[in-house]
Amino acid sequence: MTLHTGGAAAAGTWKLGDLTVNRIGFGSMRLTGSAAFDLGTPSDRERSISVLRRAVELGVNHIDTAAFYFSSRRSANELINHALAPYPEDLVIATKVWPGRDPSGEWWWATPGQLRGQVEENVRQLGRDHLDLVNLRIPPSRRTESIAEHFGALADLRDAGLIRHLGVSNATPEHLAEAQSIAPVVCVQNAYGIGAPPEAEAVLRACGEQDVAFVPFFTIAGEGREAGAGTGDSPQVLSVARAHGATAAQVRLAWTLQQGAHVLVIPGTGDPDHLAQNVAAGALRLSADEMARLSSDDRRSEAGPELI
């Protein structure tokens, strides 16, 4: 059996503020190489450009990126600009700030005063006059600390017209509440998928209660994280995939989408075949029994600390 798709629209739509997007989006991190943070393995430029153009042809109108997504000879933002500009009117490009990388690839974290420079860097690279959506990517070391100063700086840039909408990433419910008290938050971008720890569910539920989009990353990658999809899919995932004639990745995406109408996914790939499979996952509907079986999967990511 082959899983058919009506394109990215098959999963339905959600609003990021006043911007309507299909719930199947695209993450650009892997366009630059085997891993976005590996300076030694640049991707095939023309293939990456063709993947971006094909994603838009398939109905993807929500692309996630960042200025720090680059390898030795590839920049995700530059690839997006070259492939898609002049941009379709309905295309929403989301980026993130607070982390940064210098030209040698070394990480640094912006002060509130440096966030404007990071925003302007994304504006220049993407060839825009403003950014549709900027997520404040919270450092792991700040998981229990206030983000008011940094988020307030982004709110000022929003008021100045450089940013249209704001979100938070790697956030707790407390971060969401704090940010909402400063300026409207249209999305939360956190790691989430089958086997996610209980604390991840609290953020998903808080977003649903506030009609805020929940945009998980690493939904497919699981243990692989930045390195890509792993090979350790559980028997439950594989059994459901066989029943639908689908891949394990498609099952992971479908399960995540069925967590709520406010849940969007942004799977990334540099492979055109995987792109088509990811978009097709929006048409996959899992039964209540399958959802329950997958939700009981107690596998947990064994990856090390997140870099960003």
What count of residues does the chain have? 308
Q: How far apart are CA 151 and CA 155, in angstroms?
A: 6
Orientation of helix 115-126 relative to helix 148-159, angle to 10°: 50
Q: Give residues with Cβ within 8 angstroms of 249, minimum separation 6.
A: 220, 229, 267, 274, 277, 278, 281
Is 77 exposed, middle or buried, given 0-12, 13-18 or 19+ CB atoms closer than 10 A?
Answer: buried
* Catalytic residue list contains 69: yes
- Pick the catalytic residue: 14, 26, 68, 69? 69
Is it true that the peptide bond before 86 is cis, omega within 30 degrees of 0? yes
The CB-side HSE value for 51 (13 A sphere, CA atoms) comes to 31
Q: How far apart are CA 108 and CA 115, in angstroms?
A: 12
Q: How far apart are CA 27 and CA 186, in angstroms?
A: 18
**Which spans in the chain are helix H?**
45-57, 76-84, 115-126, 148-159, 173-180, 198-209, 235-244, 248-257, 272-280, 288-295
Q: Are 141 and 179 in contact (CB under 8 A)?
A: no
Q: What share of the chain is helix, strand, coil (3-state, %, to 5)?
A: 40, 20, 40
The residue with tokens 């990511």 is 301
| Dihedral sign for Cα atoms in the order 246, 282, 189, 240 | negative
Phi and psi torsions of 200, nearest 5°: -70, -30
Q: Give the residue numbers annotated as catalytic, written as ranges.
A: 69
